[in-house]
Structure 1
Amino acid sequence: MLLGAIADDLTGATDLSLMLARNGMRTVQYIGVPPAGTDFAGAEAVVVALKSRTIPAVEAVAMSTATAAALRSGGAEQIVFKYCSTFDSTDEGNIGPVAEALLEALDAPIAIACPAFPAAGRSIYQGHLFVGEALLSDSPMKDHPLTPMRDANLVRVLQRQCKGKVGLLPLRVVSQGAEAVRAAINAAQTAGYRLLIADAVRDEDLRVLGAALADAALITGGSGIGMGLPDNFRRQGRIGTEPLPARLSAPAGRSVILAGSCSTATRGQVDVAIAAGLPALRIVPLDVASGAQTAADIARWVIDNTGALPAVVYSSDDPAAVKAIQDQLGRDRAGALVEQVLAEVSVTLANNGFSRFIVAGGETSGAVVEALGVRALQIGPEIAPGVPWTRSLGQADLAMALKSGNFGAPDFFLTAWDLLDD
């Protein structure tokens, strides 16, 4: 292993795994803090998926530093801390606290923070994050139920989470190339900065940053920052070019879509699937809380209603409806109820011949994978930017597309299946 990565949610880990695999590294994704003595043999890059985005910062720090230690013990020469391309966090963290803890654990003097992913419409200019043509604070992320993002100035956002100084690596420097970036990072380090928000508006900017960071102990950012890192090892003659498969050989079985995300993209994908005639059942958190809707009932409905077309089980709703439910149940309980019921549904379905799963939402994906006992994933073909098909490694044999709520075209739930072979 040459590169180890720590992702703060499952779909983010899959996103980065795809980026590294697409750029020629043999990549394996693991779920959860690797136990002592984990054998990473055969992988050039290992991406570990944690469920640490919205837990208390002290717990996120403990999980992340333990994972970094396991990756370093397994041979990783460089560590990437991966978070969402929309910088999902609160004023308390967890991006800043985890990044500072990793700087200390790795004895690294400084690191960049760059969540840019131009292919998915995320760009950073003058430290401000844009989603498409809108500032982050004007995008649908401003109403996210767990991490509402109402400040697009990432220098300001990250500084509120950090003890050390946060600065800016502006586009005018990045545009000058890797040498200029290295000089600017060194100057910022001398001036006492610990983290730098790095501007990037094109893939080329990410490749420049990657080249400049060849010797960095720690890099933080979205999956886009992984675009330029494999080339550093390739220039040293340490990796070849491993092509991404065009299709995935999937285990025989039935198919299902489980959507726990309330993002605008996922809500649109659910609407398109329903309009196309896919059978659909909505989870009502208040009914789950009262016992009127159970995991057993939902699983039985899926089994009875899945034929030539996969069924859709979804909890997606508009921000006003989500807030009303949170006001009644509490924010954390409302989210946990949906995650838990979909996790239980997935287990029942897997025990009844379902082996092909699309799961929408990072928290939901984490709950489902944990319930199914999946510990590692082989990266398969790219369905959409940031979303591959994967096949589980180990005892369970499943084809899984684990999708960030914000990713994918409106017809994602209809067309993803076209990349699977029996």
Structure 2
Amino acid sequence: MLELAVLADDLTGGMIIASKLEAAGVACPLVTSVDELLALPGDPTAVVLARKIRLVAPAQARLEAAAAAAAFAKRGARTIFYKYSALFESTDQGNIGPIAEALLTATGAKRTLFCPAYIDRGLTMYQGHIFIGSTLMSETAKRFDPMTPSTTSDVVAKLRRQTAWRVALADHQMLTADAQAIAAALEAQPEVPFWVMDAIDDADVAKIAAVTRDWRLVTGADSLPPAIIEDRRAGAPREAGSGRRLLSGAPGREAVIAGSCGMATMAQLEAFSERHPVWRIDLARDAETAGLVDNIAAWAADRLQDGPVAIATTADPAGVAAAQAAFGREGASERADRILGEVAVRLRRLGVGKFVIAGGETSGQVLKALDVGRLEVAAYDDLFGGYCHAPGPNPTSFVLKPGGLGDQQFLFNALHRLREAERHSAEG
């Protein structure tokens, strides 16, 4: 039985969930389309469908969610889990609220909860507010995010801007009761379909998993899905093939593609540039330049034989502001992803078989451009769940990284893992 069917609103977020489920002992493939989901062989316990729906128009997001729910139903899914960022990344228009509405309607469920907790990364929920460590999210650098600035840490307030449905808070005091009492308290208010729920530690998350054991729809971030699987499997043995550190290897050259403007990615690119060549695309200056992708491909062709290269639209706040002034917020993002997707195709033709990609939206665009529909996923570890492999006539391996994660050595560590997998495969 398909115990848990996950709809992720971007690729890197979906990868993290798949890898955490792998680490929990469940083989969890990741697919990027409804067609691939329906064609998936066997009867997996869990599956992740990752779609680039975080920043699309709300109407499109609703359609995507309804299509995903219908496909999950055909696969016999017991529970749908809608996965979004632990930072509750969205605009005031959506799409967390609109997608949740569509999924609740499609499943016929009476209620769902929202718990964007990622406990092992220090992201918690208390009194309906997101904390990063001991700091309210709205007081961190996340408030300067170019696409989804966090002007508030109050999840109830933010969700109410995205939906006309009633939203209420299940605070930490409620979690002092047992799971049965919590479920009864929620059921006692049938007029409330949306509940924002606190969680400050793993014990809270485990209790929420127990509360939702028979629910058709649950929403949240990274901590809940493995807890749900662990609650339902109750000590069952690990599934064959789950939890691998090394996947099949991919021959060929190596490249880094960076679309994230996160501070971590900027530092990683700076470290990478001290040892390897980097082409930095200035969107405000270069996005409309004729032959840009041809020029990048020619530059890369001259250098790939000597080692990895990087191509990046990553920029500091001034560069982001200039690009958005030229093309608008969404226009700048769309141009960056389109260019990087085209670059990825050209790099693949140049023999690149190993990619490290920084940025969730960028990762989705690159895999779409490369026509990657299904991925094997390794267990969650120091690569933050992003290590995956696309088998086939032209096998390709990836490490997909959310923009804000990783130390300065991350790009080197990711490439090392991909090389290690290639050597391991060659040795049989």
Same fold (TM over 0.5): yes
Q: Which blocks of at least 5 consecutive residues in structure 1 are unaligned?
A: none
Specify whether residues 180 and 252 from structure 1 end up closer, same or farther in structure 2 by C-alpha distance, changes over 3 A only: same
Instruction: Show the 5 A alignment for 1:155-174.
Output: 155-174=156-175
Q: With structure 2 as the length reference, what TM-score do the two structures score?
A: 0.92
| Matched pairs, number | 419
Q: Which deviates further from its counterpart, 28-37 or 296-305?
A: 28-37
Match of residue 409 from structure 2: 411
Match of residue 400 from structure 1: 398
Q: Which deviates further from its counterpart, 130-139 or 117-126?
A: 130-139
> Given the alignment, which residue of 288, 291, 294 partners 1:290?
288
What SS does structure 1 have at the residue aligned with 2:302? helix
- Asked if 2 retains the 8 angstrom alpha-carbon contact of 1:258 and 1:358, the reply is yes
Match of residue 33 from structure 1: 34
Shift in Å at residue 238 of structure 1?
Answer: 9.6
Amino acid at match of 1:312: A
- Asked if 1 retains the 8 angstrom alpha-carbon contact of 2:8 and 2:82, the reply is yes
Separation of aligned partners in 2, 1:239 and 1:104:
34
Amino acid at match of 1:181: I
Separation of aligned partners in 2, 1:400 and 1:204:
33
Instruction: Show the 5 A alignment for 1:62-211.
Output: 62-187=63-188, 189-190=189-190, 192-211=191-210
What SS does structure 2 have at the residue aligned with 1:27? coil
Q: Which blocks of at least 5 consecutive residues in structure 2 are unaligned?
A: 423-428
- Asked if 2 retains the 8 angstrom alpha-carbon contact of 1:19 and 1:386, the reply is no
- Asked if 2 retains the 8 angstrom alpha-carbon contact of 1:106 and 1:218, the reply is yes
Shift in Å at residue 130 of structure 1?
Answer: 1.4
- Asked if 2 retains the 8 angstrom alpha-carbon contact of 1:125 and 1:200, the reply is yes
Specify whether residues 269 and 35 from structure 1 end up closer, same or farther in structure 2 by C-alpha distance, changes over 3 A only: closer
- Asked if 2 retains the 8 angstrom alpha-carbon contact of 1:376 and 1:394, the reply is no
Separation of aligned partners in 2, 1:256 and 1:385:
16
Amino acid at match of 2:32: I
Amino acid at match of 1:47: V
> Given the alignment, which residue of 329, 347, 353 partners 1:355?
353
Separation of aligned partners in 1, 2:37 and 2:414:
36
- Asked if 1 retains the 8 angstrom alpha-carbon contact of 2:25 and 2:237, the reply is no
Specify whether residues 161 and 297 from structure 1 end up closer, same or farther in structure 2 by C-alpha distance, changes over 3 A only: same
What SS does structure 2 have at the residue aligned with 1:214? coil
Specify whether residues 36 and 302 from structure 1 end up closer, same or farther in structure 2 by C-alpha distance, changes over 3 A only: closer
Separation of aligned partners in 2, 1:319 and 1:290:
21
Match of residue 53 from structure 1: 54
Shift in Å at residue 375 of structure 1?
Answer: 0.2
> Given the alignment, which residue of 358, 365, 368 partners 1:367?
365
Match of residue 426 from structure 2: none
Shift in Å at residue 9 of structure 1?
Answer: 0.9
Specify whether residues 97 and 301 from structure 1 end up closer, same or farther in structure 2 by C-alpha distance, changes over 3 A only: same
Specify whether residues 395 and 140 from structure 1 end up closer, same or farther in structure 2 by C-alpha distance, changes over 3 A only: farther
Match of residue 278 from structure 1: 276
Shift in Å at residue 263 of structure 1?
Answer: 1.4
Shift in Å at residue 239 of structure 1?
Answer: 7.3
- Asked if 1 retains the 8 angstrom alpha-carbon contact of 2:31 and 2:37, the reply is no
Amino acid at match of 1:155: V
What SS does structure 2 have at the residue aligned with 1:26? coil
Separation of aligned partners in 2, 1:40 and 1:106:
24
- % identical aligned pairs: 32
- Asked if 1 retains the 8 angstrom alpha-carbon contact of 2:20 and 2:385, the reply is no
Shift in Å at residue 248 of structure 1?
Answer: 2.8
Amino acid at match of 2:221: G
- Asked if 2 retains the 8 angstrom alpha-carbon contact of 1:375 and 1:394, the reply is no
- Asked if 2 retains the 8 angstrom alpha-carbon contact of 1:211 and 1:231, the reply is no
**1:58-95 deviation digits (Å, cap 9, x = unpaired):** 10000111011101101111101111111111111110
- Asked if 2 retains the 8 angstrom alpha-carbon contact of 1:385 and 1:407, the reply is no
* 2:236 corresponds to 1:226: no
What SS does structure 1 have at the residue aligned with 2:89? coil
When the two chains are superposed, the root-mean-square deviation of aligned CA atoms in Å is: 2.1
Amino acid at match of 2:270: D
Q: With structure 1 as the length reference, what TM-score do the two structures score?
A: 0.93
Specify whether residues 37 and 226 from structure 1 end up closer, same or farther in structure 2 by C-alpha distance, changes over 3 A only: closer
Shift in Å at residue 303 of structure 1?
Answer: 2.7
- Asked if 2 retains the 8 angstrom alpha-carbon contact of 1:57 and 1:97, the reply is yes
Shift in Å at residue 240 of structure 1?
Answer: 4.6
Match of residue 263 from structure 1: 262
